[in-house]
Amino acid sequence: MTLEFPNRSRSFDEARDAIRFIGHDGMFEVHFFVETAALVQLGRTKLSETDFLTAFDAARGSIHDVAREAYSHGRRTSYTLTMADFR
């Protein structure tokens, strides 16, 4: 199956300092986290929770592409996307 992102919801995970979002591979749910440092690298330098969620929304397409790439290298139930994944 192909990894899809039918649900546009995302949330700020303060403990991980990351944005959490979910992908689906058929009936399987896959959790992703984008570190806030990776969002800063993408050119979004604001530091509030709202600003990070806005930055996620602005870069959603490229984030989903990177998430699909990470998922294609081995299926797990959770992934944390870091700055290195966006290079």
CATH number, domain of 9, equals 3.30.160.140
pLDDT at 74: 87
Q: Please give the chain's pLDDT, 87 residues, in tens.
A: 689 999 999 999 999 999 999 999 999 999 999 998 887 776 655 568 888 888 899 999 999 999 999 999 988 889 999 989 988
Give how far Cα 63 sits from Cα of 45, 53, 69, Å: 17, 12, 10
Q: What is the pTM of this model?
A: 0.71
CA pair distance 74, 52, nearest whole angstrom = 28
pLDDT at 87: 81
Domain span at residue 76 reads: 3-86
Sign of CA dihedral 9, 13, 16, 17: positive
Number of domains into which the chain is organized: 1
Structural contact between residues 8 and 32, judged by C-beta atoms closer than 8 angstroms:
no
